Amino acid sequence: MSQLLARIKNFLREDNDLHEEVQVLRSRIDYLEHRLINYYRNRWDVLDCVADYLVNAELLGDYAEFGVYKGTTFGYAANLFHSLFRQMRFLAFDSFEGLPEPQGIDKSPEGFSSGFFQGQFAATEEEFCRHVMAAAPHLSPERLVTIKGWFDKVLTPEYANKINLQHLACVWIDCDFYESTVPVLQFITPYLSVGSVILFDDWRCYRNLANFGEQRACREWLENNPQLVLNEFISFGFHGMSFTVASVPEVR
Ligand SMILES: C[S@@+](CC[C@H](N)C(=O)[O-])C[C@H]1O[C@@H](n2cnc3c(N)ncnc32)[C@H](O)[C@@H]1O
């Protein structure tokens, strides 16, 4: 068997054209494996659909992700969107210290464990930027904005002004806890347009119960903002759910 393999290798080495074809084929197989078997594949699939949707909707605005970790989802989004939407900025919000200590209903959701713990998903800002620039090598760095801090402290209207936030075309919320999601939803409200996409990565992470995590935060947000209406969009994986905004509060 090893002799046969050696003969094939020699044969390929001698035939340059064939050697090149094999290399191309190998890189395609590597790409397909990476794309189809990867843990993140359902996130990448939904982002592909969102890209089509945003092009069709002719919607302008930034991409914002709340909870970015090492930037695997963020980098894919940036690589996909940056050439389609030339004005789009890519806003990364994170403590860059991992999850905060679970508080209140996040601590012990009705006797079962959410599995999330303090310090989980810690990655530095530098590590995040390195991963994103590797995933989206043609993204010009000035379109990447990182905002470091705890959401309940940093997500203020003053900070939104500081980064000149105008419109959000696509918002990815992936911060695991109810307590982390509440300030995010409050923060994004004035910047949503009819048609904006909101993706909740952890929608079903608490046994798909409506009283916990992102589902609870979203329900309360809608109750507090009666003019805000969401339409169901795409469900992804066992965990994620997305919506498009159907109506926004009139006054900013
Ligand atoms: C599951 S990870 C994000 C994964 C990332 N979206 C991806 O797809 O690779 C959750 C992130 O939320 C951040 N996070 C959670 N609660 C936060 C809070 N209250 N303030 C700041 N960052 C928070 C954590 O630091 C962590 O990086």
Residue 112 pLDDT > 80, yes or no?
no
Q: Do 224 and 110 sit in the same domain of this protein?
A: yes
Q: Do 95 and 31 sit in the same domain of this protein?
A: no
Q: Give the range among 13-27, 45-59, 111-125, 212-226 with minimum mean pLDDT.
A: 13-27
**How far is it, in rounded angstroms, from Cα 39 to Cα 201?**
13
The answer to the question of residue 115 being in a domain is: yes
- The pLDDT value recorded for residue 85 is 97
Q: Do 21 and 92 sit in the same domain of this protein?
A: no
Average pLDDT over residues 138-147: 97
Q: Do 83 and 154 sit in the same domain of this protein?
A: yes
Q: Which residues contact 181 (CB under 8 A, 6 or more apart)?
A: 173, 175, 200, 213, 214, 217, 218
Give the pTM: 0.90
Q: How many domains does the chain have?
A: 2
**How far is it, in rounded angstroms, from Cα 31 to Cα 15?**
24
**How far is it, in rounded angstroms, from Cα 81 to Cα 60?**
11
The answer to the question of residue 131 being in a domain is: yes
The answer to the question of residue 118 being in a domain is: yes
Closest C-alpha among 172, 189, 190, 179 to residue 234: 172
Q: Do 224 and 130 sit in the same domain of this protein?
A: yes
Residue bearing tokens 């990447």 = 144
Question: Percent of the chain beyond pLDDT 70?
Answer: 98
Tell me 28's DSSP state. H
What is the domain range of residue 124? 39-247
Pairing of strands 192-200, 229-236: unpaired
**What is the DSSP annotation of 124-168?**
-HHHHHHHHHHHSTTS-GGGEEEEES-HHHH--HHHHHHTT---E
The answer to the question of residue 135 being in a domain is: yes
Q: Do 65 and 3 sit in the same domain of this protein?
A: no
Closest C-alpha among 197, 180, 1 to residue 85: 197
What CATH number should be reported for the domain holding residue 56?
3.40.50.150
Residue 12 pLDDT > 80, yes or no?
no
pLDDT band at 251; cut points 50, 70, 90: low
- The pLDDT value recorded for residue 252 is 56
The answer to the question of residue 78 being in a domain is: yes
* 191, 203 Cβ separation under 8 angstroms: no
72 lines ligand 1 (CB under 6 A): yes
Q: Do 27 and 113 sit in the same domain of this protein?
A: no
Q: Do 173 and 76 sit in the same domain of this protein?
A: yes
Q: Do 80 and 138 sit in the same domain of this protein?
A: yes
Give, using CA atoms, the residue closest to atom 19 of ligand 1.
Answer: 180
What are the beta bridge partners of residue 198?
A: 171, 243
Q: Do 128 and 208 sit in the same domain of this protein?
A: yes
- The pLDDT value recorded for residue 165 is 98
161-180 b/e (C-beta count within 10 Å ≥ 16 → b): eeeebeebbbbbbbbbbbbb
The answer to the question of residue 252 being in a domain is: no
97 C-alpha to ligand 1 centroid (Å): 9
125 phi and psi, to 5 degrees? Answer: -60, -40
Q: Please give the number of the atom of ligand 1 that sits closest to the Cα of 66.
A: 12
146 lines ligand 1 (CB under 6 A): no
* 99, 176 Cβ separation under 8 angstroms: yes
1 C-alpha to ligand 1 centroid (Å): 50
116 lines ligand 1 (CB under 6 A): no
Mean pLDDT, the chain, rounded, equals 93
Q: Do 12 and 59 sit in the same domain of this protein?
A: no
Closest C-alpha among 150, 215, 144 to residue 187: 150
Give, using CA atoms, the residue closest to atom 27 of ligand 1.
Answer: 69
188 C-alpha to ligand 1 centroid (Å): 16
151 lines ligand 1 (CB under 6 A): yes
Pairing of strands 192-200, 240-247: antiparallel
- The pLDDT value recorded for residue 1 is 65
* 242, 198 Cβ separation under 8 angstroms: yes
Question: Which burial class, exposed, middle or buried, applies to 148 when counting CB atoms under 10 A from its CB (0-12, 13-18, 19+)?
Answer: middle
Q: Radius of gyration of the chain from Cα atoms?
A: 21
